[in-house]
Structure 1
């Protein structure tokens, strides 16, 4: 029989303690719904009384229907007081959620230094607080803070803390590597010992200060823990928490545990990217399983092999976690990269075709000039489609002009663009908080009457890279633009010694790519081909 593992997500609580991450109540509700759709078993929402956002979250979440257990967070009662008089515990009990996690000290050093109380009083604090929740019909999880450091320093006391929580009725005893300094072998050994001494089910909560949070979580599961706590994308304080986006597929695909239904696992990549978007934090492209480069191939030998069998350079099928294989094309690419990329776009290509070699040479020359297509898939797709005879110009740019004015200490930018769309000349102007933003606004303003869905597209990232620094202000720049809509994210590139021209090129490619895909989805091919022309890179 397959062993089931419970997933406890603390993105909305521990994850928000990461530097640069701040979630509104609306953000937290959106992420909670996405996590519920993923199928995690617990969603820790925060402390019902710690701040206005958490208070609002717990008030509003009551009206939503969740399969996951929404869980409150708090700490054990204050020293030398009564649990029923502790305002934090009372707010948790009154929050209306079915479960709560209470954190308590298990390291004697922390009891003396942080709490400044006795070891006996700390045991009473743990017992009284867990018992208080159980008496009110709540599921109680005990987060044994700094457990592994405490166990290594004073194992008898660390176990005594767990035993007190168990005696009070704790449903889960969660062992925390709060400082993130324990090694996987130590985790496995200590969890194995605890499993022999206590009967309550064990959970694991690790931090990533030694880049071992995922490995430590897996080691704990192998030693008998049955709940794993972590965050989406590993968000969290300092170096972050254990990354559930790696833990879940490792447990299910590699280790054979029952974690999520297969159809839910296929939504993992989408969930990771959605949370990243809401949190306004760029995902590392090389993030395991769900990163944009997790199944990307650049070396010609690699690509040649995966075209024969993807198992040659992929440890799993990307689709199992909702990701996809990508072929990167650059100056390092071989002919196989071009062939594979073109085939994935449905283009008619032959391995011995001289045109293929010509395209490869052209791409290498563009990269020599400063283009970087491995980071700009959309620009590459336009380039390949054009090279194989497909029209890619949904509109024609006749001219554009930018006006920058300093007035009363403020810089104002205005862009004027002249386009030709379906034989109709469009002339419009728009302001922006900079020249690139003004160009973007003017372009959209000109096109929205023809393509209303353009309003769904937004620029999600903008990067400028200067190369040939020795040329100072005359140096070439590369601009990478990332754009998004509700379904997709794509990147485009522009290169010039003029940053405005490079930005404009990347913006034009971004809009063309988006409109090209919109048209292909909604227009018959013959009609579509009549409506668009040809563009040269």
Structure 2
């Protein structure tokens, strides 16, 4: 077997013209800690993946739990309409010592009625003898029998060779025997899995090159991200001939996740010239990534490559002035190609060019005096604890005020918050607010589970009849940070409030030694921003 470790085989061959993208969010991705999908969630995620244009969607393991059973049943009944992708059911080979024809897992795979099936098989000798407690010969027969049976039943079959890279390192002959057995039995793709996620790109390059030369059908790859190399490993695998890349949009998965298809897809398409989901669909990537994040109830990572809100954000004045002259100065691709956009983040580091770009982005006409006023206000306010690069809503209002704009939606006269401890030991907070809406003075009282909740309820009660659209604006997050804890209860407090109207999201900020005052400032600006932008649209 000395030849199998020859580095001569690691030379890349000509890149494939296209690779298939295989998303496993509904199975492997849902194993992420804290991520739980209902059947309805799974159906909606699958629709989004189909809209994106992935070739294969792994729906789950039929028979493993009632949720996956229901998903495949409803999908087969017509509740899932896929226009582009092929639905795949996932399961294991027959049991050791059993027969494929009577194996319950294989029966469940057939009952799922998917066009394609992905079979997982142990391809590391140690796992066969220690985990399955069977012989290497029987493990190879399990693969051959299972693949042949499913092929005879009319299914396309992919083989997920579990622990392949670790197994190949220790016993390459057995790992290749598993692949050859699947190939001989009619498998369509041999998927090399880095199940523990510990392989590095130079190792992947050598192993995939050797496997490519030792097999005769399509290869796939499935990398976990435990060493931070899942996307890089996927790209190097494609350079060595892999034509199916498995992973998850947003990189979901157990431990540190799977290869992030949100990065792998544009890397392959834009950087390597390999067709994936189709260039015409690439612009859907950011929207789909964020939509799926909402469906699985996991906050998107703003720093995620390509699709994160900060992926094309520019803060330093040097960067933004260069961007004005050439977009390529600090952007490795055109953000529009992946459905994202350039953002100019304003902070105390901002120069006039940054402010000018932000004003242009917002459609504001700032003359020289207004520009200087904004720059000075930013520096002063951020010195006092404001942080405008994370408070886009408050920044826009500040810049509007510099043009002479005044908030006339409502005017606060006063507010009061009282918290009472009841006899039964529970606390209740009551807010009283007096505002002027047009020529009308309105007094409203509301209860809440805390001062901000009570103030929010009272304000909505007061101005809601005048602005019915307020019912579409919701606060989604409330963050409080003590800026100088050395001063104890007299410390300055920063409050950030995230809000949404269902289409856009924004953040507003308030800073004060009084947490109620800081909260009100952020709350008021959140409501004003929402009403202002809704009326503008």
Out of 376, 379, 387, the residue aligned to residue 394 of structure 2 is 379
**SS of the counterpart of 1:347?**
coil
For the structure 1 residues 371 and 96, does the alpha-carbon distance in structure 2 shift closer, same or farther, using more than 3 Å as the test? same
Which position in structure 2 is the counterpart of 1:329? 346
Which position in structure 2 is the counterpart of 1:259? 276
Q: In 2, Cα distance between the equivalents of 1:270 and 1:405?
A: 45
Which position in structure 2 is the counterpart of 1:430? 446
Which position in structure 2 is the counterpart of 1:28? 42
**Unaligned runs of at least 5 residues, structure 1:** 522-537
Which position in structure 1 is the counterpart of 2:494? 478
Which position in structure 2 is the counterpart of 1:188? 205
Which position in structure 1 is the counterpart of 2:419? 404
Q: In 2, Cα distance between the equivalents of 1:131 and 1:451?
A: 66
Q: How many residues align?
A: 519
**Contact 2:234 2:245 survives alignment (8 Å):** yes
Out of 332, 353, 363, the residue aligned to residue 315 of structure 1 is 332
Q: In 2, Cα distance between the equivalents of 1:110 and 1:480?
A: 50
Out of 43, 47, 51, the residue aligned to residue 37 of structure 1 is 51
For the structure 1 residues 394 and 5, does the alpha-carbon distance in structure 2 shift closer, same or farther, using more than 3 Å as the test? farther
Question: Following TM superposition, by how much is the alpha carbon of 1:2 offset from its aligned partner in structure 2, in angstroms?
Answer: 7.2
Question: Which runs of structure 2 are paired with 1:243-322 in the superposition (5 Å)?
Answer: 243-322=260-339
Question: Following TM superposition, by how much is the alpha carbon of 1:139 offset from its aligned partner in structure 2, in angstroms?
Answer: 1.6
**SS of the counterpart of 2:292?**
helix
Question: Which runs of structure 2 are paired with 1:330-349 in the superposition (5 Å)?
Answer: 330-349=347-366
Which position in structure 1 is the counterpart of 2:3? none
Which position in structure 1 is the counterpart of 2:221? 204
**Contact 1:385 1:392 survives alignment (8 Å):** no
Question: Following TM superposition, by how much is the alpha carbon of 1:390 offset from its aligned partner in structure 2, in angstroms?
Answer: 2.9
Which position in structure 2 is the counterpart of 1:510? 526
Q: In 2, Cα distance between the equivalents of 1:71 and 1:520?
A: 45
For the structure 1 residues 360 and 154, does the alpha-carbon distance in structure 2 shift closer, same or farther, using more than 3 Å as the test? same
Q: In 1, Cα distance between the equivalents of 2:89 and 2:408?
A: 53
**SS of the counterpart of 2:18?**
coil
Q: In 1, Cα distance between the equivalents of 2:128 and 2:502?
A: 49
Which position in structure 2 is the counterpart of 1:500? 516
Q: In 2, Cα distance between the equivalents of 1:219 and 1:313?
A: 25
Out of 138, 143, 155, the residue aligned to residue 172 of structure 2 is 155
Which position in structure 1 is the counterpart of 2:457? 441
**Contact 2:499 2:507 survives alignment (8 Å):** yes
**Unaligned runs of at least 5 residues, structure 2:** 1-14
Which position in structure 2 is the counterpart of 1:520? 536
For the structure 1 residues 501 and 133, does the alpha-carbon distance in structure 2 shift closer, same or farther, using more than 3 Å as the test? farther
Q: In 1, Cα distance between the equivalents of 2:440 and 2:57?
A: 53
Question: Following TM superposition, by how much is the alpha carbon of 1:107 offset from its aligned partner in structure 2, in angstroms?
Answer: 0.4
Which position in structure 2 is the counterpart of 1:133? 150
Which position in structure 2 is the counterpart of 1:47? 61
Q: In 2, Cα distance between the equivalents of 1:56 and 1:414?
A: 46
**SS of the counterpart of 1:238?**
coil
Q: In 1, Cα distance between the equivalents of 2:461 and 2:40?
A: 29
Which position in structure 1 is the counterpart of 2:12? none
**SS of the counterpart of 1:276?**
helix
Question: Following TM superposition, by how much is the alpha carbon of 1:393 offset from its aligned partner in structure 2, in angstroms?
Answer: 4.2
Question: Following TM superposition, by how much is the alpha carbon of 1:412 offset from its aligned partner in structure 2, in angstroms?
Answer: 2.5
Q: In 2, Cα distance between the equivalents of 1:519 and 1:199?
A: 62
Q: In 2, Cα distance between the equivalents of 1:306 and 1:101?
A: 46
Q: In 1, Cα distance between the equivalents of 2:528 and 2:406?
A: 11
Question: Following TM superposition, by how much is the alpha carbon of 1:358 offset from its aligned partner in structure 2, in angstroms?
Answer: 2.0
**Contact 2:315 2:346 survives alignment (8 Å):** yes
Could you give the per-residue CA deviations for residues 153-193 of structure 1, whole angstroms, max 9, x where no partner exists?
Answer: 11110000011111221111110011111111111111111
Q: In 2, Cα distance between the equivalents of 1:2 and 1:240?
A: 26
State the TM-score, normalized to the length of structure 1. Answer: 0.93
Q: In 2, Cα distance between the equivalents of 1:427 and 1:52?
A: 53
Which position in structure 2 is the counterpart of 1:454? 470
Which position in structure 2 is the counterpart of 1:526? none
**Contact 1:347 1:385 survives alignment (8 Å):** yes
Question: Following TM superposition, by how much is the alpha carbon of 1:434 offset from its aligned partner in structure 2, in angstroms?
Answer: 2.5
For the structure 1 residues 142 and 355, does the alpha-carbon distance in structure 2 shift closer, same or farther, using more than 3 Å as the test? same
**SS of the counterpart of 2:137?**
helix
1:361 paired with 2:376, answer: yes
Which position in structure 1 is the counterpart of 2:404? 389
**SS of the counterpart of 2:89?**
strand
1:111 paired with 2:128, answer: yes
Q: In 1, Cα distance between the equivalents of 2:477 and 2:313?
A: 21
**SS of the counterpart of 2:295?**
helix
**SS of the counterpart of 1:132?**
helix
**SS of the counterpart of 2:257?**
coil
**Contact 1:419 1:427 survives alignment (8 Å):** yes
**SS of the counterpart of 1:117?**
coil
The 4+ residue runs of structure 1 with deviation greater than 6 A are none
Q: In 1, Cα distance between the equivalents of 2:182 and 2:445?
A: 67
